[in-house]
Structure 1
Amino acid sequence: MEYEEILYDVDDGIATVKFNRPHAMNAGTVQTYRELEDAFRRAGEDKAVRVVVLTGEGRGFCSGDDVNQIFLAEPDNSDEARSRRLLEQIDDLRSHRRNWLDTAIMECPKPTIAAVNGAAVGYGCDIALMCDMRLGSDQARMGEFFVRRGLCPSLGGLMILPSIIGVARAYELVLTGRMVEAEELGAIGMVNRVVPHDSLMDESYKLAREIAAQSPLGQMMAKEGIRMGLNYDYDRIADYQNATVRLLSQTADHREGAQAFVERREPNFEGR
């Protein structure tokens, strides 16, 4: 696959994957997520890759779904076939994202590091959480914004976040949708540590090289063992999340949340 919305490079055993839509704060489209899935599977299968580092081009990590394409997409009567394909892809994204992208990230056999260089919100926050480790710059910000759009988090927010920061804190962040600034990210453990912004990639590659120097077979078994130890009911949570997204994406509250974001105003939710 040729990449248009991400960057992919392998050097000295480290695969660097970058969101590459800086003009949109790296908001993800259907194409972005398909390319990201391919990159993680490619890195997982490449014997030359020992570690994957995920980050964003420009000022942000990933600002979540591209609202105009994914949430507010409308049929384009000038090109009905193209419009139909896009709407089908969006429906698949809403209903079965776990079946391809979440799985590609969480089941990647190589150690994964998210280098959070700026805002990581909504699904961008969950993508960072689904990586094995996170380093945050002092400009990093993360937020489970889903309730602001009338939606429910993905696996990162429902499954990984509570195991990292505790259930009570996870409830607070998920149910308020508030932004968490860099200092708090480090204090509550949403990132492994916070480093100066200009040092983020150096520190991320330093960690990646330290990991890459160890036994890949031992690491692969250790990753799987840690997941087993956490006792995630992966399929059940994924099925629940898929069902909630399909249901919530059809509600007036979701439409209001997405429209309010585009219009830069506070949403008026009515519970319908």
Structure 2
Amino acid sequence: MLWEELTVFEKSLLLGTLLGDGTIARTKSKTVPRKGLQYLEHFSVKQMEYREWKLSIAPRIFEGIKIRSTGTSAELFSRRDELFTWLWTQCYENREKRIPIHLLKDCTHPVFLLALYLDDGSLSLTKSKRSKLNQIIITPHIYLYLQAFYPDELEVLSEFIYRTFHHQFVLSRRSDGHFYTLRIQKTEEAIRFLNEFSPYAYAIPSMRKKLDWDYRLQLERDQHPDMTVIASKAKNDYTTEEIEFIIQAKQNGMTDAAISQHLNRTYWSVVYKWQDIKKNHLKENEFVYVY
């Protein structure tokens, strides 16, 4: 099979999951098997439903699932094919997986972004309490843990995602891999992302916690029956100008109380935001804001 013979849906799913949990297996032999190389994806059996879904929607790409002897893990696999031999040359450099920038233009179906998210992404929640009002405010954050790739690759990927799917991801600092991953910065963007992909929760119920924002919010309410659990409002998101002001103010020694008064925000809001800025926006030992 050739890349050109795949549909846009198949290309999008294959490249999205290849950049995520998938890999192209090579034998120890220096020569390529006559039948070509093979796609493999190792996973916990707890995520079996998701891999069965992949197998069902792309039978021309994936051939089956094999449970390992331990019974706790399995692998989604393809047949050996020249397609994967070719993809190895496009996606690997010195045996290191890279983003094939030139192939992104062929992957315009949203399943590309869905596969990236379900393979290597997470829905992370920030929780803040308002004791006097007996409230818990939940703020969603969408991450794509792609720190195995270089920052310049992630920048291009981020631009492609925004241009093609209209979701804005920015670089976020990490301490492992190549030190950066991607995240959606704004609350309304994160909720819009989840709302767009929530219909897939019906096809993959085990992924509902990761896809259905209303369902996830209800789970949080069930866990705190004695409190009012609400989603943070988009209008409370910090603007780029406010973030830059906080960084500059901290450099100048301004207190959290003074910053909150200047920005007309609550003291604890500024405290939490500064923690977020240090974790996700500043390089270690440097006050540099990464856009």
**TM-score (norm. length: structure 1):** 0.27
User: Who wins on radius of gyration, i.e. which is larger?
Assistant: 2
TM-score, length of structure 2 as denominator length? 0.25
Structure with greater helix share of residues: 1
